């Protein structure tokens, strides 16, 4: 079976990437936005799919993508090189902590992350999958402490998380950032959400809350899902 996932305008090779393309990443890549999106940072880019989707959505954006796992970073870099947006995408094979130190005076209009989100749970015996799927609370503390200094005045951080982890992150962010947008993602209408897409910024505004449903019926995507992804997925 091919390891390449084909989108309408680009393809993503997933070879040697612990975390493959998934619904979480695709939803975040299609929803994240800011008033201006000339400079974007993708934290934990994995295959590079979110960065590639944002490059398609924002044709003037320059995008930095950080990935700590060397094999994933190499694959993401090749995916960037093979894309129509290669001159606007830059891979940084390092930890986000090192990246903060290297780019102390850089500011971004949009910062996104589909992070490792399993807290207080057993880790995978495979080290690369542990890095990709599990995080200590310190990961989110570091993220939220540093993001304010790297955002432009009207910039925003967008992140997708399971419900429990989203509650932890909202509490951690309270002293540094303001919650601005919350999308409750459910598989089916009237079901309890299983993911939250959260947006934080430096300014206090009225929080926009909205539901999002992936399926209209078994194996039938909702109209909202199709509309959101019609410019990306080959099936629409």
Q: Please give, one letter per residue, the 3-state secondary structure of 21-51.
A: CCHHHHHHHHHCCCCCCCEEEEECCCCCHHH
**CATH 3.40.50.150 given to domain 4-229:** yes
Closest CA to 136 of 119, 113, 161: 119
Does pTM top 0.85 for this prediction?
yes
Q: Are 112 and 159 contacting, i.e. CB atoms less than 8 angstroms apart?
A: yes
pLDDT at residue 117, rounded to an integer: 60
- C-alpha–C-alpha distance, residues 57 and 18, integer Å: 26
pLDDT at residue 134, rounded to an integer: 47
User: Which residue is associated with the tokens 């606007």?
Assistant: 88
Instruction: For residue 205, give both structure tokens.
Output: 């505004």
pLDDT at residue 236, rounded to an integer: 83
End-to-end CA distance of the chain: 22
pLDDT at residue 13, rounded to an integer: 96
- C-alpha–C-alpha distance, residues 156 and 35, integer Å: 9
pLDDT at residue 18, rounded to an integer: 80
One pLDDT digit (tens) per residue for the chain, 236 residues: 569 999 999 999 998 888 889 999 999 999 999 989 999 999 999 999 999 999 999 999 999 999 999 999 999 999 999 999 999 999 999 999 999 999 988 999 999 999 876 545 444 444 444 444 445 668 888 899 999 999 999 999 999 999 999 999 999 998 899 999 999 999 999 999 999 999 999 999 999 999 999 999 999 999 999 999 999 999 88
Domain ranges of the chain: 4-229
Dihedral angle at the C-alpha atoms of 102, 104, 107, 111, nearest 10 degrees?
Answer: 60
Instruction: For residue 9, give both structure tokens.
Output: 């305008």
**In the 8-state DSSP scheme, what is residue 86?**
G
The three-point CA angle 198-221-3 to 5° equals: 80
Cβ neighbour number for residue 27 with a 10 Å cutoff? 23
**In the 8-state DSSP scheme, what is residue 127?**
H
């Amino acid at each position: 079976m091919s390891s390449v996932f084909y989108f309408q305008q680009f393809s993503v090779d997933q070879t040697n990437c612990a975390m493959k393309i998934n619904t979480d990443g695709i939803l975040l890549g299609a929803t994240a936005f800011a008033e201006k999106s000339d400079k974007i940072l993708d934290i934990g880019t994995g295959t590079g799919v979110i960065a590639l989707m944002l490059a398609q959505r924002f044709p003037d954006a320059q995008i930095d993508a950080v990935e700590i796992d060397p094999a994933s970073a190499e694959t993401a870099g090749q995916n960037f090189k093979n894309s129509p947006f290669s001159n606007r995408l830059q891979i940084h094979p390092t930890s986000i902590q090192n990246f903060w130190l290297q780019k102390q005076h850089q500011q971004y209009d949009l910062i996104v992350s589909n992070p490792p989100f399993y807290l207080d749970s057993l880790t995978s015996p495979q080290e690369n999958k542990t890095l990709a799927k599990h995080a200590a609370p310190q990961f989110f503390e570091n993220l939220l402490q540093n993001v304010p200094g790297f955002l432009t005045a009207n910039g925003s951080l967008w992140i997708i998380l399971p419900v429990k982890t989203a509650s932890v992150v909202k509490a951690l962010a309270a002293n540094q950032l303001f919650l601005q947008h919350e999308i409750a993602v459910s598989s089916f209408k009237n079901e309890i959400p299983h993911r939250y897409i959260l947006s934080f910024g430096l300014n206090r505004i009225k929080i926009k809350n909205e539901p999002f449903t992936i399926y209209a019926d078994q194996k039938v995507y909702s109209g909202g899902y199709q509309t959101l992804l019609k410019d990306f997925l080959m099936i629409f």
